[in-house]
Amino acid sequence: MSFPTPSPTGFASPTQPAPHQFATAALNTRIAFLVELARRLHQYGTSAPRLEMAIAGSALRLGLAAEVWSSPTAIIISFSDLTQGEDGVAQVTQVMRLPPGDVNLARLCQADLIADQVIAGQMELRDGFRLLRDLGKPDTRRAQAGVIASYGLAAASVVSLLLHSSWADLLTTAVIGLMIGTITVLSATRPRLAVASEAICALVGTIFAILVSALVVPLAIKSVILAGLIMLMPGMALTTSVREISSQHLVAGVARMGGALATLLKLTFGTVAGAQLCAAFGIYPRDFALPPLPSWTEVPALMVAAIAFAMAFRAARRDWPVVMAAVVVGYVSTRWGGLISGALPAAPFGVFLGGFLLGALANVYARFAHRPGAVVREPGIILLVPGSVGFRSVSYLLERDTVLGFDTGVLLVTLLISLVAGLLFGDLLVAPRRSL
């Protein structure tokens, strides 16, 4: 959904109908379409500022005024007909209670295309509503298998890219990733399992890593557990929450941050419980480092990570090259920024530079490809978000190492601020023309 500078409505096509051309459509039909669009955008991981902007702009093009309030678990929208004039009171208020969304780039792009076609007059409102409703169908078994595989591939690639561990660590981490991916997919259709899925994943992953280390081959146990849980780390949620707070969406930002902290606590509890359970049975890991992976594995690992994140974010096949390029750009720019930082702190400057480039490139892509900038932005920053730093901070605090815990917490805040600042400055360099 695009929005050109000279138009207050939010859409760029010169052939779009004026709002009065939708006035003949029933009010309930227009509202039903917008409510379903909001539901899909929320379900596919759209942040509160972007969702509110997209729905408000869409409503104007349909001859309605919409006051939108979005949070990670609810949406409230009040609608009034523009024919009533500026003093018209809201005629309908819709309240939706929703679970937190998860990024699904393919379906996000489909919802965006459906909205553009309806507003451009190329599709009937009822047809658009039906297509949006069809997007809510459960994932196929093939898609679920892809998600499970992406967890294993992403975990293995992190061992090489960020932790520089051994071959034994890499293989063990890949297996843990597959186990966690399976539990995550199963929890999607089992509400009781979903509530505790993070703690169960951490518990299972920790026990498996300790058993392998004790009975098969020594492992760098903390690195293996951290990499195995990498796809569950709430780094993306923390980053989004800080962006929402910085844009004055305070309720949504604080609520999302609370959810991210709860996830960190559940992961930490599962890890500690797994270690204590093994200790109760007299099983202790042989924790020492084996020879690290050779340097040539970094490039293949980066390619594997790019493929894994394209699968994890459920990108359409046509978007895979763009998604993979975004992952590579994010990682390389962050590494390069750390090398040229000079007297500046290497990690924060590298993360800032990566966020800055990805924010600008996402807007360039959205402007010229006429597709959501999230296709570039979300997978691009996945290796930059500091979820693992937050996990380490909470773990140190639970181990009563308060000095190291608070020191790591300060690093978490610094990296979050650096990344969000980079994304905001990227928006200043290339102004966004699309709400997504």
Which positions of the chain have pLDDT values less than 70? 1-24, 85-88, 287, 289, 388, 398-399
Query: CA distances (Å), 411 to each of 92, 174, 394, in order?
Result: 46, 28, 13
Average pLDDT over all residues of the chain:
87
Q: What is the per-residue pLDDT across 54-99, written as a single tens digit (0 to 9) for each?
A: 999 999 988 888 999 999 999 999 998 887 766 667 888 999 999 9
**Residues ≥6 apart with Cβ < 8 Å to 130:** none
pLDDT of residue 395: 74
Q: What is the per-residue pLDDT across 234-278, written as a single tens digit (0 to 9) for each?
A: 989 999 999 999 999 999 999 999 999 999 999 999 999 999 999
CA distance 253 to 412: 17
pLDDT of residue 223: 86
* Token representation of residue 39: 């539901």
pLDDT of residue 104: 94
CA distance 158 to 36: 37
- The C-alpha angle with vertex 324 and arms to 415 and 230, in degrees rounded to 5, equals 45
Helix (H, G, I), strand (E, B) or coil at 96: strand
- Dihedral sign, CA of 23, 27, 30, 34? positive
The values of phi and psi at residue 80, to 5°, are -140, 150
pLDDT of residue 16: 46
CA distance 412 to 184: 26
User: Which of 178, 179, 159 has its CA nearest to residue 169?
Assistant: 159
pLDDT of residue 300: 93
Query: CA distances (Å), 420 to each of 157, 226, 245, 247, in order?
Result: 25, 24, 11, 11
CA distance 316 to 295: 32
Helix (H, G, I), strand (E, B) or coil at 417: helix
* Token representation of residue 46: 């759209």
Helices (DSSP H) in 188-249: which residue ranges? Answer: 191-195, 197-215, 221-228, 235-246
